[in-house]
Structure formats: structure tokens, C-alpha cells
Amino acid sequence: MRYSNLAPWMNEQATRWLATSEQWLRLLSMVKRTLENDAQRFPHQIRAASSFVILLCRDGYWPARYSQRERDEIVALAKRQLTVVRQAYAFEARARPELLANPDYKAILQGLDDELRLLDARLADEPVNLPDRPPACWGKFF
């Protein structure tokens, strides 16, 4: 057993296992189909699918049979759709200013901003240092 890279997504055996897993490919297909939905009608599903993109669209996890271009396309789709969701929440806050007094609502807005920042980092041409803290509302999951 080699111990040169401790990151679970940079392990050759794990990468091979994921590349041959039909369930993995079905999950990616489901995420992409979800992101193609109307973000105004399905904001919670879009946000959940975007979280999968944030977590899984990285070297090692992303199946080798898909190209870098395909990965960038799904990340860009997640970013576009999550931006629509963020705008809807901001519009709601402008229409109902009392929402900004609600700490949960403010945390959702901050979480969306954090998630969009992570998607931007996934799209960057140059390696970007990802934040040390998880997105707001993610708790210790990240």
C-alpha cells in the first residue's frame, strides 16, 4: 500500500473504482438533469445538485471517461443556476426587508455566496486556494 497522497480523491484504486461504477455515472447524470430544471421553480433541488458539483467535480472523483470540458460545462451550469437562485433570494429580501432580520435567511444568503465562490474556484484556469471553512449552513459536513 502506498501512502504518497492522503487525499481520498487522489487515490489510484479509488479512481478506478469510481470510473467503473455505473451508480456513480447515474448520480452524475441525475445531477446534470436536475441542474437543467427551472431554477425559479426548483431552487432547493438546484442548490442540492450544485452541492454535489462542488463536492465531486474535482480531479480523481470526476470519471476519466468525461473530459475536462464536460466537467467545466457542468460546473458552469451549476454556477448559472445557483446564481438564479441567489438572485431570487435577494429579490425576496428586497421585497420583504424583515427577512434580513432572520439569522437563518441571512445564513442562506451567505451560504449561496460561499457556494458560488467555490464554483468559481472550480472554474478557475489557475489553481485557487479553496476556503478553509465550509459554506455557511453546511456545518461540519464540508
DSSP string over 42-104: -HHHHHHHHHHHHHH-STTTS-TTS-HHHHHHHHHHHHHHHHHHHHHHHHHHHH-GGGGG-HH
The pLDDT assigned to 109 comes to 94
The dihedral through the CA atoms of 60, 118, 80, 107 has a sign that is positive
pTM (2 decimals)? 0.81
Measured between alpha carbons, how far is residue 120 from residues 56, 95, 113 in Å? 14, 28, 11
pLDDT value of residue 124: 78
Model confidence at 1: pLDDT above 60:
no
Higher local confidence (pLDDT), 14 or 74: 74
Q: What is the pLDDT of residue 67?
A: 74
Among the ranges given (18-27, 37-46, 108-117), the one the predictor scored with the smallest mean pLDDT:
18-27
Contact partners, residue 97, CB within 8 Å, separation at least 6: none
Q: What stretch of H or E contains 18?
A: helix 12-19
pLDDT of residue 3 exceeding 70? no
DSSP code at position 37: S
Q: Are 135 and 111 in contact (CB under 8 A)?
A: yes
